């Protein structure tokens, strides 16, 4: 069993999925059970989660949700013996290849202040080459950038 952590900064992104039939609840439950699951299909093995390509490969995995939504996460060691580890939800958003500035993967790369590689993403299984990992300082910096981004969106949309 894995502990799935949704920090306060990420909560508005998760709440925005409500009613959109994205399959978030099923994905959350699978992350709790085994984020490294690889299913056997008639087409061959299919991973539940995949590793991002490029500079975020050692740090971030993604999950396909329904309706073109994606979920980005990383992992950390367990803080409690009852769990195998911690899954840290980093971002949830829509995949938009036409408007890159609204695309989840462009946003995640921007939040990590790194280049988003162009086409040719391999999407290997998340845990094939070891688990993705963010140290606590990287996670804190990412969450700070996310809070600033979301605050800016709220200001632009007229919210408080």
User: Which domains occur in the chain, in start order?
Assistant: 3-155 (3.30.2310.20)
Bridging pattern class, strands 86-94 and 3-6: parallel
Model pLDDT for residues 90-121, shown as the tens digit of each residue: 999 999 878 878 899 999 999 999 998 876 66
- pTM for this one? 0.92
Of 118 and 32, the structure prediction assigns the larger pLDDT to 32
Whether residue 156 is predicted with pLDDT greater than 60 in this model: the reply is no
Angle between helices 104-111 and 136-156 (to 10 degrees): 120
* Burial group, residue 87, by CB count within 10 angstroms (0-12, 13-18, 19+): buried
Assigned token pair, 129? 């080459």
């Amino acid at each position: 069993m894995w502990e799935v952590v949704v920090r306060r900064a990420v909560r508005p992104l998760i709440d925005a999925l409500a009613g959109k039939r994205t399959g978030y609840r099923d994905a959350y439950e699978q992350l709790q059970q085994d984020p490294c699951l690889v299913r056997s299909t008639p087409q061959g093995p299919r991973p539940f989660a995949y590793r991002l390509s490029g500079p975020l490969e050692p740090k971030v995995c993604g999950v396909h949700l329904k309706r073109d939504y994606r979920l980005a996460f990383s992992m950390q060691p367990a803080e409690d013996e009852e769990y195998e580890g911690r899954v840290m939800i980093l971002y949830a958003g829509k995949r938009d290849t036409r408007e890159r500035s609204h695309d989840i993967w462009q946003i995640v790369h921007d939040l990590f202040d790194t280049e988003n590689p162009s086409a040719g993403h391999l999407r290997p299984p998340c845990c094939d080459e070891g688990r993705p990992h963010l140290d606590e300082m990287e996670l804190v910096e990412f969450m700070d950038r996310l809070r600033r981004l979301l605050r800016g969106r709220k200001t632009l949309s007229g919210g408080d």
